[in-house]
Amino acid sequence: MSAEIRELEPKALWNKFADLNAVPRPSKKEERVIAFMKDFGASLGLTTEIDAVGNVLIKKPATPGHENKKTVVMQSHLDMVHQKNADTDFDFDSQGIEMYIDGDWVRAKGTTLGADNGLGVATIMAILESDTIAHPAIEALFTIDEETGMTGAMGLKGGWLEGNILLNLDTEEDDEIGIGCAGGIDITATRSYIEEQTPEGKTAYQIAITGLNGGHSGMDIDKGLGNANKLMNRLLFDGFENFGLRIATINGGSLRNAIPRESFASIVIDSVHQEAFEYEINELIATIKKELAVTEPHLSIAVTTTILPETVMELGVQEGIIKALYAAHNGVYTMSASIPDLVETSNNIAKITIANGSLTVQCLTRSSVESSKMDLTNKLRATFELIGCDVEASGSYPGWTPNTDSEILRVLDNLYQQMNNGEKANVAACHAGLECGILGQNYPNMDMISFGPTIKGAHSPDERASISSAQKYWDFVLEILKNIPNK
């Protein structure tokens, strides 16, 4: 299907995107895409370097007439979020993304598309390869592991880059110019439990929650989307309170930065309550579907009888985790008081695993205010420690503080208006984790800005990239490069 993608305009951009999407590039497994980028830089005869953590830097001199302009760092991340629908047979470790055109959108068949941040990477590749695009000296920085810890940006040493301006190509609305973002921290609660033999006289059920939209746990956290883990816990809580439901296993969600779309649980109840339980849970399912009818029209909750499991979860620990998950905050925690409509702090209960005597709950907490981030972190820690969990807070990274007096912001703001009949861009901070805040720690004087083409449904199999927006964005990039300020 990449053949029809390669015919889209601008061809330079879409061809490089197709090349990139043929290379498996999961977070923390970027060896193949690092080698791909190294070979790409070498094939162009450009200085290509790889640092100790795996970030790739390709340098290209200014085109004639642009030698006196400031050096620009063009930056995007190489890794992509790997999510697929439960009924999609796909191996992210060995297969390239299968793309197709759907009207004005490029999509993938049952998986994430990798437009986040593949379109940014492809943009930079196309500019590096071109011998006709005017530009100042470019340092093309391709970072690794942005999606699961930002370890590439964190490992980037000061002094490696010489550029004065950083263009981060990781924003997902083509009318937005990003000047700030949230920081984040991973919260992980774990504990062991005793597996008890399943009592006699039980009936077993499999509960499967599927069909939710999912999405980016930062950018989509305020959209009222369903969280499969919270919905599953609501069902289990009701079954436990009314019928003494016992849990055998739970497997919900996948990645911290993706709102969980699916959850699966194996449970048992007393056989004498089978009819009443089925009536009650179906009533609750109908209520949940009605509540989410607008935001989650494809929600499916199936409850089916299954083979009786050999063991169930220790009763006291089960009661504790069900109640803790009900109490644990999920979604928007606070809105910004200084920036209208900006989520300040949030949490995503991303992944829950209960099996084989071990339970794990993984969350991602985000905030543009460090003190608020730690406040919610402590609230979650307290919630899970009360039931005997060990709670680890790790991978903390800072937000990016907005600079409204930025020189490159003025350039982009003016250019956007000139190119769009006077319409002003939306200059804003976002509730996602961009790498700018981390990079700014070692490069405090670098002038940073973020922008990109329109991408919807990032971090979910509904991810799609607008074709018309890609052309608009490409034209914008070329004009920006022509208008970089002088040294």
For the stretch 77-100, pLDDT in tens is 999 999 898 889 999 999 999 999
* Number of neighbouring beta carbons within 10 Å of residue 197: 8
Chain-wide mean pLDDT for the chain?
96
| Euclidean distance between CA atoms 191 and 233, whole angstroms | 18
Determine whether 146 is an active site residue.
yes
| Euclidean distance between CA atoms 10 and 294, whole angstroms | 36
Rounded to 5°, angle at Cα 466 from 59 and 165: 30
For residue 3, name the pLDDT band (cuts at 50, 70, 90).
confident
Q: Does residue 9 surpass a pLDDT of 60?
A: yes
Determine whether 79 is an active site residue.
yes
Backbone angles phi, psi at 268, to 5 degrees: -135, 155
Task: Classify each residue of 380-395 as buried b or exposed e, where b means 16 or more C-beta atoms within 10 Å of its C-beta.
Answer: bbebbeebebebebeb
| Euclidean distance between CA atoms 433 and 178, whole angstroms | 12
Condensed to tens digits (0 to 9), the pLDDT of residues 251-294 reads 999 989 999 999 999 999 999 999 999 999 999 999 999 999 99
Q: What is the per-residue pLDDT for 43?
A: 98
Name the token pair of 263: 């959850």
Indicate the burial class of 203 (C-beta count within 10 angstroms; 0-12, 13-18, 19 or more).
Answer: middle
What is the three-class DSSP state of 477?
helix
First to last CA, the chain: 45
Rounded to 5°, angle at Cα 387 from 395 and 209: 75
Mean pLDDT across 59-64 = 98
Within the chain, which residue ranges are assigned CATH 3.40.630.10?
2-182+399-482
What is the three-class DSSP state of 165?
strand
Within the chain, which residue ranges are assigned CATH 3.30.70.360?
185-397
Task: Indicate which residue of 30, 116, 146, 344 is catalytic.
Answer: 146
* Residue-by-residue DSSP string for 406-466: -HHHHHHHHHHHHHTTTPPPEEEEESS--THHHHHHH-TT-EEEE----EESTTSTT-EEE
Condensed to tens digits (0 to 9), the pLDDT of residues 38-57 reads 999 999 999 999 999 999 99
pTM of the predicted protein model: 0.82
Q: What is the per-residue pLDDT for 189?
A: 98
* Number of neighbouring beta carbons within 10 Å of residue 185: 21
Highest mean pLDDT among 180-184, 314-318, 436-440: 314-318
The pLDDT > 70 percentage for the chain reads 100
Backbone angles phi, psi at 303, to 5 degrees: -125, 115
Q: What is the per-residue pLDDT for 209?
A: 98
Condensed to tens digits (0 to 9), the pLDDT of residues 323-355 reads 999 999 999 999 998 888 999 999 999 999 999
- The correct answer on CATH 3.40.50.300 for the domain covering 185-397 is no
Condensed to tens digits (0 to 9), the pLDDT of residues 372-389 reads 999 999 999 999 999 999
DSSP state of 80: B
Q: Which of 381, 368, 480, 482 is nearest to 433 (CA)?
A: 368
Q: Does residue 1 surpass a pLDDT of 70?
A: no
Name the token pair of 227: 């969280």
Q: What is the per-residue pLDDT for 373?
A: 96
Q: What is the per-residue pLDDT for 404?
A: 87
Mean pLDDT across 233-253 = 97
**Are 221 and 264 within 8 A, CB to CB?**
no
Q: CB within 8 A of 422, min separation 6: which ones? A: none
What is the CATH code of the structural domain delimited by 2-182+399-482? 3.40.630.10
